[in-house]
């Protein structure tokens, strides 16, 4: 392993045992970037909070609850596709591969890919990349169930993780990016991100991406505003996180979760709506915020795609599509691509 390159990236290394290690940026770097990004994104006319900040411990737990909701079709649909393509994946993985996952979360869907690796290889190497500490718990659970697995976890942003794996060694990577998390990027940032993934890949590497498809407004809006209010809790939790970590005084009862499908831009837009005129102090970001009644803080985009758009997007960002799979109701897609 090329330890020196990875050690130079300002990561702290935690070796748990011979099968499990983590790399994490130094905590001062993480805290500084959270307070600086919030100071920038809330100190402007159109306010926003980057969706990566949803995922503290509570946020990750709430996301797992969202995945079990009746209205939230993406998780069960993507799982059904993964189950149906296991034989195809077995055939398409030519030679030995390491599994790298962007935004691995609870690593539940990962198991369906690990099962394919398990049939194919004596030893499995898995590199989960996730900004959330949930990565440590999910990794420990995986190790209990897969005896031949070793894990190198990178608790960092997608971009940090991609730089970490770039030039790591000559082993081929299957990079997976599931859950339609790619839909959180704006079209311009998304294209740049795909180019970044592509530039990280070696010839022979493969990329598997799960993307949600365009569908009716009512199905989409229910998926992001469920009847049990879990998505609302998930959205509002980011304000609790800012209160706890940046010493702020958001009163959560003064905000409401708001999700709407923007048909023209093919995206669900999620906001926190201020219910009153109010002032908020965020001490660690040096910010005194004035919000007026009905003002929106943007928290997430979730873009939806048509198959033609997926082909065009991957084509123009340097990929060659190997195969696209859909579920039987055409709700969700999985695309396998190589570097062109």
Ligand X SMILES: C[S@@+](CC[C@H](N)C(=O)[O-])C[C@H]1O[C@@H](n2cnc3c(N)ncnc32)[C@H](O)[C@@H]1O
Q: Is residue 41 a contact partner of residue 47, using CB atoms and an 8 Å limit? A: yes
- Binding residue (CB under 6 A) for ligand X from 128, 153, 179, 183: 179
Q: Which range binds ligand X by CB under 6 A, 4-12, 102-110, 197-205, 323-331?
A: 102-110
DSSP-derived pairing of the beta strands 149-154 and 124-129: parallel
Binding flag, residue 339, ligand X (CB under 6 A): no
Interior angle at CA 106, CA 240 and CA 42, nearest 5: 30
**Residue 300 within binding range of ligand X, rule CB under 6 A:** no
Among 6, 35, 77, 132, binds ligand X (CB under 6 A): 132
Nearer to ligand X, 61 or 88 (CB): 61
Nearer to ligand X, 192 or 293 (CB): 192
Number of residues that bind ligand X (CB under 6 A): 18
Task: Give me the least distance between CB of 256 and ligand X, in Å please.
Answer: 22
Shortest distance in whole angstroms from residue 104 CB to ligand X: 6
Find how far residue 164's CA is from the centre of its chain: 17
Report CA dihedral (12, 14, 15, 19) to the nearest 10 degrees: -110
Provide, rounded to whole angstroms, the least separation between the CB of residue 130 and ligand X. 5
CB 267 within 8 A of CB 306: no
Contact 101, 153 (CB under 8 A): no
Report angle CA 157, 103, 189 to the nearest 5 degrees: 60
Residue 104 or 136: the one with the smaller Cβ distance to ligand X is 104
The smaller minimum CB distance to ligand X, of residues 182 and 250, is found at 182
Q: Which of 11, 22, 23, 63 binds ligand X (CB under 6 A)?
A: 63
The region, left, alpha or beta by phi > 0 then psi within -120 to 50, assigned to residue 204 is left
Residue number with CB closer to ligand X (184 or 274): 184
Q: Is 181 in the site for ligand X (CB under 6 A)?
A: yes
Q: How many residues would you count in the chain?
A: 340
Residues 208-237 within binding reach of ligand X (CB under 6 A): none
Q: Which is nearer to ligand X, 102 or 282 (CB)?
A: 102
Neighbours of 32 (CB within 10 A): 12
The percent of the chain in helix, strand and coil, each rounded to the nearest 5, is 40, 30, 30
The nearer residue to ligand X, 164 or 280, going by C-beta atoms, is: 164
3-state secondary structure at position 205: coil
CA 180 to chain centre: 8
Residue 157 in the binding site for ligand X (CB under 6 A): yes
Q: What is the number of other CB atoms lying within 10 angstroms of the CB of residue 309?
A: 16
Site for ligand X contains 130 (CB under 6 A): yes
Smallest distance from ligand X to CB 240, Å: 16
| Beta carbon nearer to ligand X, 146 or 158 | 158
Does position 198 bind ligand X by CB under 6 A?
A: no
Q: Does 52 bind ligand X (CB under 6 A)?
A: yes
Does 131 interact with ligand X (rule: CB under 6 A)? yes
Is 153 near ligand X (CB under 6 A)? Answer: no
Say whether residue 178 binds ligand X (CB under 6 A): yes
Name all contacts of 44-51 with Cβ < 8 Å and 24+ positions apart.
46/298, 47/291, 47/295, 47/296, 47/297, 47/298, 48/297, 48/298, 48/299, 49/238, 49/242, 49/272, 49/297, 49/298, 49/299, 51/184, 51/299, 51/300, 51/301
Q: Could you say whether residue 258 binds ligand X (CB under 6 A)?
A: no
User: Does 77 help bind ligand X (rule: CB under 6 A)?
Assistant: no
3-state secondary structure (DSSP) of residue 87: helix
Among 55, 73, 234, 258, binds ligand X (CB under 6 A): 55
Binding site for ligand X (CB under 6 A): 52, 55, 60, 63, 67, 75, 103-105, 109, 130-132, 157-158, 178-179, 181
């Amino acid at each position: 392993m090329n330890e020196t390159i990875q050690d130079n990236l300002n990561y702290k290394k935690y070796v748990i045992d011979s099968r499990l290690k983590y790399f994490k940026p130094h905590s001062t770097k993480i805290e500084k970037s959270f307070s600086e990004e919030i100071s920038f994104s809330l100190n402007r006319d159109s306010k926003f909070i980057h969706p990566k900040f949803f995922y503290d411990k509570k946020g990750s737990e709430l996301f797992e609850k969202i995945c079990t909701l009746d209205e939230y079709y993406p998780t069960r649909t993507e799982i059904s596709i993964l189950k149906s393509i296991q034989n195809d994946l077995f055939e398409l993985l030519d030679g030995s591969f390491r599994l790298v996952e962007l935004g691995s979360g609870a690593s539940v869907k990962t198991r369906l890919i690990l099962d394919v690796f398990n049939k194919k290889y004596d030893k499995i190497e898995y590199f989960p990349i996730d900004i959330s500490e949930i990565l440590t718990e999910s990794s420990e659970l995986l190790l209990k169930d897969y005896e031949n697995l070793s894990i190198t976890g990178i608790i960092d942003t997608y971009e940090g993780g991609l730089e970490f794996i770039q030039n790591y060694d000559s082993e081929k990577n299957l990079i997976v990016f599931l859950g339609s998390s790619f839909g959180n990027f704006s079209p311009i940032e998304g294209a740049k991100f795909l180019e970044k993934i592509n530039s990280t890949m070696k010839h022979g590497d493969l990329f598997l991406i799960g993307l949600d498809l365009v569908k009716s407004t009512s199905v989409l809006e229910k998926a992001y505003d469920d009847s049990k209010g879990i998505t609302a809790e998930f959205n509002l939790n980011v304000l609790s996180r800012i209160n706890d970590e940046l010493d702020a005084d958001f009163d959560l009862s003064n905000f409401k979760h708001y999700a709407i499908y923007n048909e023209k831009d093919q995206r669900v837009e999620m906001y926190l709506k201020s219910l009153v005129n109010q002032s908020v102090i965020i001490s660690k970001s040096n910010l005194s915020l004035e919000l007026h009644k009905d003002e929106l803080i943007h928290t997430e985009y979730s873009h939806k795609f048509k198959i033609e758009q997926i082909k065009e997007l991957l084509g123009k960002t340097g990929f060659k599509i190997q195969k696209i799979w859909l579920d039987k109701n055409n709700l969700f897609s999985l695309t396998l691509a190589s570097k062109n």
